[in-house]
């Protein structure tokens, strides 16, 4: 599925993977975010950090009747206030996506899959 925009000179199609990559990159720039995690946890309940090139596995963009909804799965650093980190991720992702793609999003959901100690 993709998002289409009609302009004077033609049409632009934006794939959900492109939206996920932009959102994942924006989230990693936020303080307290160590990385993206997979939607599914490993058997023992520990979230696995994804590599830098696989943002699409930790970010899912879904087109709904209300607009585009983004679900993000992150791993936070130990000792940070999780509510502040999640709030900043939502603000940053919304700002970057609006500035880059000029699309309104119905929801940006951030799920914390784990907390890791930075050593």
Quick one: pLDDT at residue 87? 96
What are 104's two structure tokens? 């309104």
Contacts of range 53-58, beta carbons closer than 8 Å, 24 or more positions apart: 55/20, 55/21, 55/23, 55/24, 55/25, 56/17, 56/20, 56/21, 56/24, 58/24
Q: Are 22 and 29 in contact (CB under 8 A)?
A: no
Q: Are 77 and 32 in contact (CB under 8 A)?
A: yes
Measure the CA–CA gap between 97 and 92, rounded to whole angstroms: 8
- The total number of structural domains in the chain stands at 1
The parent domain of residue 91 ranges over 2-116
* Nearest alpha carbon to residue 117 among 76, 58, 74, 72: 76
| Signed CA dihedral, 62, 67, 70, 71: sign only | negative
Q: Model's pTM, two decimal places?
A: 0.81
Task: List pLDDT tens digits, range 34-85.
Answer: 888 876 655 444 455 555 555 567 888 888 888 889 999 998 999 999 999 9
CATH code for the domain of 30 = 3.30.70.1350
């Amino acid at each position: 599925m993709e998002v289409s925009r009609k302009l004077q000179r033609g049409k632009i199609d934006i794939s959900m993977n492109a939206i996920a990559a932009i959102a994942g990159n924006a989230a990693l720039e936020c303080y307290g975010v160590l990385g993206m995690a997979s939607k599914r946890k490993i058997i023992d309940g520990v979230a696995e950090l994804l590599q830098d090139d696989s943002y699409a596995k930790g970010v899912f963009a879904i087109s709904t009747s209300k607009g585009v909804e983004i679900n993000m799965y992150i791993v936070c650093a130990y000792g940070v206030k999780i509510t502040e980190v999640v709030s900043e991720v939502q603000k940053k992702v919304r700002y970057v996506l609006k500035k880059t793609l000029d699309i309104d999003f119905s929801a940006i959901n951030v799920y914390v899959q784990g907390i890791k100690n930075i050593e």
